[in-house]
Each structure stands twice: as C-alpha cells, then as structure tokens.
Structure 1
Amino acid sequence: MIRTPALLALTLHLGTAMAIDIAPLWDFSRPDQSERRFTTAMATAAGDDRLILATQVARVHGLRRDFTRALALLDTLAPQLAGAGPEARAWFALERGRARVSATHLPAQRSPEARALARADYLAAVQWAREAGRDGLAIDALHMLAFVDDTSAAQLHWAQEALVIAERSAQPEAARWRAPLLNNAGCALHAMGRYPEALAVFERALVWREQNGQAGATRVARWMVAWTLRALGRLDEAIAIQLRLEREWDEAGAPDPFVFDELVLLYRQLGGNDRAAMYEARRGAVK
C-alpha cells in the first residue's frame, strides 16, 4: 500500500467568496447535511450569493457521483451568468468542471471529450477568479486541472502554476494551499523518479506544516520525507523517521498502516526479517 495518490483532492481549502462565506456550510463527510444548509441559505439569498450557493448543491451531487444531476442543475443556472459577477462565474465554471472530471470520477468516465470540456471550464474558472481577486479560488481551479491532465509532468506543471499564486498571495485562503500543493508537486516528482527534487519539495511542505501547528498533517508530511529517503537509498534516516511516526501515531491512538507498510519494506531491505514480519502483523491488525 502506498500513501500517495497522484494528487490530493483538496476539500478543506475552499476559496471563500467575498459575497458569501460558504466554508462554514460545508461538511464533506456529511453531504446531505451540507446540501440542507445550502438550500436553507438559498431561501434568503439573492443574486450572486444565491448562484454561488446553488453551485455548491451541484457539487454535493458530484460528491455522490450523480454527475448527470449536477450538470443538469448547472445547466439551469447558466442563464444567470449574463448578469453575474466574476466570482460567481468562477464558482460556476469550477463546479461544472468538477462535474465533468474530478477525483470522484472513475477512469472510464474521464473520456477525451469530458477532459476537453472540463479543461475549458477550469481555465475559465482561473480567469474569472483572478478577475475577482480571489486567489484561493484560482488555485482551486488550477489544482483541478491536474485531474484532467493526469500525467506526472502535467500534474507537476499545474501544481507549480498554483504554487506561484499561493506563495505570492497575502490572502489566507491562498496561503493554506501551500503545503498541499507542495505535496502534489513532490508526488509528481517522485513518480518521475526525480527523488532529490521530490525530497526538497516534501521538506518544504514539512516546514510549513510544522510552522502552522497541524499535528496530523505534519506527521503525513514527515512520512512523505521518509518515503522519499527510502527511494534515495537513505534507509537509516528513513527508518528513524518511520519509527518516530509509529510512536507518535500510537500515542495519538491512531496507528498508521502506511507507516507499517514502510517499516516492512525498510526492514526487509536491511535484512531484518523478524522485524518486518512484526510490522506486517501490525499492518494486518489495523482495520
């Protein structure tokens, strides 16, 4: 088992609309509740606020993999775009792109036609978000392009494009993307076998996590560093980090199977078959 997806599908870092703050309405683990919140808010909203809220209902449908319903809802909203501001237009384009190609879509659903349409939507979302001055929203759209153009080289390109905005922006919602985007860039570099570069990027992500006091996310960032050290053949350093992570996750009451996977591989490479077997057993015991 490998911890790294090609990308992190980021759900926690929402670009907050200037007209309405949608972030408090979202609970991605409870889409039904989120949908109720959006529809309740729509009852008293008007103009761009109402349009933005409706795009989030479409996103809920997408999270349920009901992409047909999501696109149908967005089609009903399209006539409102003529009188909408750039931020509402950006949300519309972003959510229509997500309804076409996203992390939620199965590979068979990512047809060339769907990719082309989604790419156009995401690029439009970037343009409208920049016009609205919403850096976090522009970054969200850029990071989604890596699900459309999903070669490692393309994923690295889109992560780097988004990082340029995140690292120059003074907006908090943009700054919060830095570590996830660094992680995505590191994963792309790792997939291309560019391990020294990947390590440098993962170390930058770790520093950001440490500085922002995010314990669980910091441990994941440290795991990425150790994972890359193993790829570089720096086994002693990698094993020291993974053993530290084992202790920290155990103390947090949440043993991490990905740590055990790495320890199995590391001890096998070092000839510690008994220790490898022990961690294999620990991995099997994690539900």
Structure 2
Amino acid sequence: MSLHPSPAEVRRLWDFEDPVASESRLRAAADASTSAVWTTQIARALGLQERTTEALALLDGIAGHDDPVVRAWSTLERGRALRSDGDPEQAERWFAEAVEAARTADLPFLEVDALHMLALVAPPDEALAAHLRALEAARTASDPHTSTWECSILTNIGMTHADAGAWPEALTAFEEARAAALRLPDAEQRLLVADWMVAWALRHLGRRAEALEVQRDLRRRHEAAGTSDPYVEEELAMLGDEGATRS
C-alpha cells in the first residue's frame, strides 16, 4: 500500500466552493497520516481563502523533500499559490517544474493538472498551444482518472477562442466539453456550466433562438433543483426573455 493518497482520494475531500470546510477535512486527514501530500492540500485550501502567506509557509516547511511524489504535489501547489497571489511569472516556473516532477513520480493526473495550469499562465499567443498539449496528455493517459481533465481543458480552449473572437471555434470546443461532461460522475453539475457556455457562444454567433432555448432549459433545471444562476438570468435578459429577472 502506498504511503501517499491517490489524486482520487485527495479529490474526495475537496469542495472547491467551500475551502474552509475542505481545509478542516484535509487537516483531519493529515493528522491521521504521515504523508506530506496532505500538507500541500491544506496549503491549497489556504490559498483559496487568500491566505497566501500561510500557504507558502506550509509549503516552505516541506521544501526540498526527497520524495518525488511530495515534490510533484508541492511544486504544483506553490505555483497555484503564486498565481493566486498575482505572480504569474513565478507561477509559470513552478508549474513547469511540476510537470517534470509529476512525470518522474509517474503521476499522470498531476502532470495534466500542471500542464493545464501552465496553459492558464501562458502568454496569449502561446495559450492555445499550451491548452492543446494539456488536452493531448489527458486524452492519451492510460489512467482513466486522468481523462476526467478533458472537460475542463476543452472549456479553457473554448474560452481562449472566445477571447480571440473566434466564436465558431469556441462553440466547437464548448460542445466537445459538453460531450466530455456526460462521461463524468458529476455530469449534471458539469452540464449546467457546459450548456451555459454553448448558449453563450450561440448568442455571439447570432443564433439567438437556439441560445434562448438552451438558457430557458437551464432556468427550468435550476428551478427543479431549487437553485438559480444569475448568469442564466443575465443571458435571458439579453436575449429578450420576458421572464428574466434583472439585477
């Protein structure tokens, strides 16, 4: 049995919408384990709470660790903390190091995570190629858990096209992200985002009737779940839906 938790075991303790509760669960896991991987995740939770100084101090405490698995996790989380702190240039250095560390440790999920983060800090003229490298790594990994990155990376590719005003390409990427979302355990939650992105691209392409149909369906699904999404209502208002609420 491995000393360290797998990426899937780590992911089960995370709720990225609630980093405070996640921190509590991660600290409990750290107390019950000798693996420094949990320390890297506590640092991530602190970073999401904008407690970057504390996050970096925790990572400093395990800097130079000779275990390749810990090194892969810690370099990745240092990059994330620095990016959150507004230092993309330093973050890029650590993400690049994390890619190599993850390969050395034979952690394909972390390698793709690092590649996807590297793409997010790449210069605009290099971003698309960087996202495509991450996508290729996700699609060719033998580990099925790693392929779950496909949906997120395709969404990032769509956003890169959208930022460049390339809306047909953006729509294609968002539709592929939706197809990838259908293969995930949390498909319904993912589809709420994926469908919104598709409709957003459709509106920008002038296909307003199709966009309106998707956004109305999203509103119905939110209502059935007892939730709401202001971004859906904003799009409906722009599309001329009389039932849309305006903030």
Q: TM-score range by the shorter chain?
A: 0.7 to 0.9
* Distance in structure 2 (CA, Å) of the matches to 1:185 and 1:209: 15
Residue 45 (1) aligns with residue 33 (2): yes
1:77 corresponds to which residue? 62
- TM-score scaled by length of structure 1: 0.75
How far has the Cα of 1:30 moved from its partner? 4.3
Residue 182 (1) aligns with residue 144 (2): no
- CA displacement, residues 136-174 of structure 1 (integer Å, 9 cap, x when unaligned): 1112112222443363x4443332121111111232321
Conserved 8 A contact 1:42-1:53 = yes
2:134 corresponds to which residue? 162
Q: Which amino acid aligns with 1:69?
A: E
1:19 corresponds to which residue? 4
* Distance in structure 2 (CA, Å) of the matches to 1:25 and 1:216: 18
**Residue of 60, 67, 76 corresponding to 1:94:** 76
How far has the Cα of 1:100 moved from its partner? 0.9
How far has the Cα of 1:29 moved from its partner? 4.3
Q: Where in structure 1 are there 5+ consecutive unaligned residues?
A: 1-16, 268-274
- CA displacement, residues 242-264 of structure 1 (integer Å, 9 cap, x when unaligned): 22222222222223322222222
Residue 235 (1) aligns with residue 208 (2): yes
Map 1:265-276; keep pairs closer than 5 Å: 265-267=238-240, 275-276=241-242
1:203 corresponds to which residue? 175
**Most deviating of 175-184 and 24-33:** 24-33
Conserved 8 A contact 1:199-1:229 = yes
2:118 corresponds to which residue? 145
Residues 44, 206 of structure 1: alpha-carbon distance in 2 compared, 3 angstrom cutoff: closer
* Distance in structure 1 (CA, Å) of the matches to 2:238 and 2:31: 55
Residue 61 (1) aligns with residue 34 (2): no
Residues 197, 87 of structure 1: alpha-carbon distance in 2 compared, 3 angstrom cutoff: same
Residues 33, 232 of structure 1: alpha-carbon distance in 2 compared, 3 angstrom cutoff: closer
Residues 245, 58 of structure 1: alpha-carbon distance in 2 compared, 3 angstrom cutoff: closer
* Distance in structure 1 (CA, Å) of the matches to 2:13 and 2:225: 28
* Distance in structure 2 (CA, Å) of the matches to 1:228 and 1:29: 25
* Distance in structure 2 (CA, Å) of the matches to 1:227 and 1:182: 15
* Distance in structure 1 (CA, Å) of the matches to 2:29 and 2:227: 37
Q: Identity of paired residues, percent?
A: 38
Number of equivalent positions:
242
1:250 corresponds to which residue? 223
Conserved 8 A contact 1:226-1:238 = yes
Q: Which amino acid aligns with 2:130?
A: W
Q: Where in structure 2 are there 5+ consecutive unaligned residues?
A: none
* Distance in structure 1 (CA, Å) of the matches to 2:98 and 2:166: 31
- TM-score scaled by length of structure 2: 0.86
Q: Which amino acid aligns with 1:24?
A: R
2:100 corresponds to which residue? 127
**Structure label with greater radius of gyration:** 1
How far has the Cα of 1:63 moved from its partner? 1.8
2:236 corresponds to which residue? 263
How far has the Cα of 1:194 moved from its partner? 0.7
* Distance in structure 2 (CA, Å) of the matches to 1:98 and 1:158: 17
Task: Flag the structure with more relative contact order, 1 or 2, with Cα contacts below 8 A and sequence separation at least 6.
Answer: 1
CA RMSD of aligned residues (A): 2.3
Conserved 8 A contact 1:101-1:147 = no
Q: Which amino acid aligns with 2:55?
A: A
* Distance in structure 2 (CA, Å) of the matches to 1:154 and 1:142: 13
Residues 58, 188 of structure 1: alpha-carbon distance in 2 compared, 3 angstrom cutoff: same
Conserved 8 A contact 2:237-2:246 = no
**Residue of 153, 159, 163 corresponding to 1:191:** 163
- CA displacement, residues 159-205 of structure 1 (integer Å, 9 cap, x when unaligned): 21211111112323211111111111101101111111111111111
